[in-house]
A and B are shown apart, each in its own frame.
Chain A
Amino acid sequence: MKEEKISNTVSNAEINKSGTEDAATNTKSYKLEFFGKGSEFFKITIVNWLLTLITLGIYFPWARVKQLKYIYGQTSLNNERFHYSGTGWELFLGFIKAILLFIAWYFIIFLFGLINPIFAIIFIILSYVAIPPFFIHGSLKYSMSRTSYRGVRFGYRGNRGELIVKFLIGTFLTIITLGLYSSWFSMNIRKYTHENFRYGDIEFSNDCNGSDFFWIIIKGYFLTLITFGIYSFWFNRDLFNYYWNNLKMKKDEKNITCRSTATAGGFFELILVNLLIIIFTLGIGLPWVQIRTNKFICDNVKLKGDIDIDTVLQTEEEYIDATGEEAIDVFGV
């Protein structure tokens, strides 16, 4: 493993354009790395598989935690690793809760159906739109609260009701515009969720907007179609760039911006080799594919800014409810 010391020295003196008392800001260097190895991840996957098999599937939530712990733990920023602190037991209880909710949902439909089938149909339609944000909220809240770095937790401060309203409006507009609005819909959701992410007292924001995204999609689909798919690598690159280049972090007056260095060639290699691995190992090589993909992401995202990641304060409260996380499996949200 490479030894990379955090350089706190002024690597790039920038002239402060506002001309106030600070003549220069301290630009910090950040290094995002992924140390995961396919063989190790394969071993974890095999052991998970064995234990899941022997326990007739009950071990599954614990197996998932093992995988997430590995992926998070092998992701490092400035040579300190991320940490996933979810537990199998939490996920298991979340799974049970999601099943109970599922049964309750059926029961409500049944009751409405007894009164008037129209009510039942309206309820089904409304819940089809409201269920995904309901659980996406829970899932974000849970997974962010279980992610930490240097002993400081991440968090999600979004509001469940607001997210559901956004989904209802977005779905409605997407339907009446025959799908054209979907770009604005997805970017609104992205912006909303990202702006509610926290890492201690660092706030996140996202500058994405529907019209920029719409043109990327239009251009991507059209060119992919007329080049018989060859453009898809550039399309992937454009999406990846767009997702990352708009993500920002802010703390006090300081900030960090993200920049993607992904290239179409890089995507070509990633996708082609992943496909070959899957085909020639009949899917057994999936752990290598997951590792390669994570490595690709970490290698191609560069952070730049002046936030001192040594001085982040714990701000997010502890959170205990894994229903959203497991509902994703139960309801297939």
Chain B
Amino acid sequence: MLKKFKGKYFNGISSASLEASVKFINSNNEICFQTENGDLFFWDISDIQFDSYHNLIEIRNKKNLDAILKIEDENFIRKFYQVLKRNKALNLHTRLTNLSFTKISIISICILSLISLMYFYALPRISDQLVSLLPDSFDNQLGEIVMDTYIFESSIDTEKTKYLQQFASELNLENTKPLKFSVVKSDEINAFALPNGQIVIYTGILKGMKSYDALVALIGHEVAHVNKRHSIKGLCRDISGYMIISLIFSDINGIMSILIENAHHLKSLSYSREFEDEADKYGLKILIKNNVNPNGIIELFEQLEKVDNSNNMEFIQTHPLTENRKKNIKKIISESVYEIKTNNNLTSIFKKLQN
């Protein structure tokens, strides 16, 4: 004896509702129902679409999507799901939403931790690998574009630029590509290196230096950024990080996305801190190699510390100065063997640079 269920039928022609009696037939591969008007319908399970709400299920037929069969009966719904499962007609979304709250949470947390693992460990390494695949010409072009727009809005001190070039040529910098030096007229305490080997130093930072040791330290530090391709690495890490983040959080709006973006910004800062540490150590190596007093780097740090609270924050933000950074370098200096030889050429060029 086949069990009959009571339902409601809307025919898709008018909004009137008709009583219907429903049953599964043909070894549960078809739903058969008869309306109060006596019309008989056979719906194949494979043609069926449905929406379920608690103890109500709305069934539609792909062949006539306007018509609806509504059944409010827990027994029917249970049986309906069994039939669908057997016919593998339940899609992934329905199966997942039918899981318990804890199971969904566990799946979400697993995937989320997998992604965080990727974000924190795999991503920096993968993107650094990608950078090594990029040709040098990419660094050069990028650097030239930045320099072109930069020169456009600032004034180069041509005379001092010449002296700075002379100063650098006196040093062994172990550079991997030809370097270009420029001095920019500005009171700002700033200096930076572009990926094409262009190093820009502001007159503001030159004036504050007590000895050429600090300048050698600064140059060494900037050369490290060029040699180690720090700006390209940072760029790649940043972009790939943003890609992952926008992928994960594109669906979640509001405060969460702002928080995540800021967290990512902090993460990029920590990347730059990692790069700064590397550049400091390299700068120190350059000082020792050229028989310059390694304490030049400490001198440079102390000069930067003084402007810590002033408005010239740009340098500080990208070159985070911490007690730790100074302490680390002091420790390395105390452990290293070095010989200081005063270089008269450097002294005289340095004087001209400071005028």
Task: Please list the residues of chain A having a beta carbon within 8 angstroms of any beta carbon in chain B.
Answer: 1, 35, 39, 43-54, 56-57, 60, 62-63, 66, 69, 73-74, 80-81, 83, 85, 148-153, 200, 278-279, 282-284, 286, 309-314
Contact = CB atoms under 8 A, between A and B. Distances in A.
B247 interface: yes
24 contacts: A44-B97, A46-B108, A47-B96, A48-B93, A49-B251, A49-B252, A51-B93, A51-B96, A54-B111, A60-B250, A60-B251, A66-B93, A80-B17, A81-B58, A83-B58, A150-B10, A151-B12, A152-B14, A278-B254, A282-B255, A284-B252, A286-B253, A312-B14, A313-B15
Contacts of B250: 52, 57, 60
Given A81-B58, A83-B51, A283-B256, A50 B14 contact: no
Given A47-B93, A74-B53, A313 B14 contact: yes
B191 interface: no
Contact of B13 (A46, A80, A148, A313): A313
Interface in B1-46: 10-17
Interface residues of B, number: 40
Chain B binding surface SS class: mixed
A45 B51 CA distance: 17
Contacts of B97: 43-44, 47
A78 to B, nearest CB: 10
A50 B53 contact: no
Interface string B46-58: 0000010111101
B170 interface: no
A40 to B, nearest CB: 8
Given A43-B97, A310-B16, A50 B108 contact: yes
Nearest to A280: B255
Contact of A314 (B14, B53, B101): B14
Nearest to B14: A313
B57 to A, nearest CB: 11
Interface in B234-264: 247-248, 250-257, 259
A278 B255 contact: yes
B65 interface: yes
A266 B329 CA distance: 63
A151 B11 contact: yes
Interface string B98-109: 000100110110
A321 B269 CA distance: 46
Nearest to B64: A151
B68 interface: yes
Nearest to B96: A47
Contacts of A56: 247
B68 A151 contact: yes
B61 to A, nearest CB: 12
Given A43-B97, A83-B58, A152-B14, A279 B68 contact: no
A73 B52 CA distance: 9
B67 A151 contact: yes
B337 to A, nearest CB: 53
B92 interface: yes
Contacts of A153: 66
Given A53-B111, A151-B10, A153-B66, A46 B104 contact: yes
Given A73-B58, A151-B66, A286-B253, 8 more contacts: A50-B107, A60-B251, A85-B65, A153-B66, A282-B255, A311-B14, A314-B12, A314-B13
Interface string B172-183: 000000000000
Contacts of B104: 43, 46-47
Contacts of A81: 53, 56, 58
B15 A50 contact: no
A309 B250 CA distance: 41
B51 A73 contact: yes
B255 A279 contact: yes
A66 B56 CA distance: 18
Contacts of A150: 10, 15-17, 68
A220 to B, nearest CB: 25
A52 to B, nearest CB: 6
Contact of A310 (B12, B15, B111, B248): B15
Given A35-B53, A284-B256, A314-B66, A52 B14 contact: no
Contacts of B251: 45, 48-49, 52, 60, 63
A56 B67 CA distance: 35
A122 to B, nearest CB: 30
A311 B251 CA distance: 41
Closest 9 CB pairs of A and B: A151-B10, A283-B256, A283-B254, A150-B15, A312-B15, A151-B12, A47-B96, A283-B255, A152-B15
A198 to B, nearest CB: 13
A145 to B, nearest CB: 12
Nearest to B107: A50
B41 to A, nearest CB: 14
Contacts of A286: 252-254
A219 B191 CA distance: 55
Contacts of A49: 108, 251-252
Nearest to B95: A47
B91 to A, nearest CB: 9
A100 to B, nearest CB: 22
Nearest to A42: B101
A151 B15 contact: yes
Nearest to A67: B251
A300 to B, nearest CB: 23
A81 B8 CA distance: 13
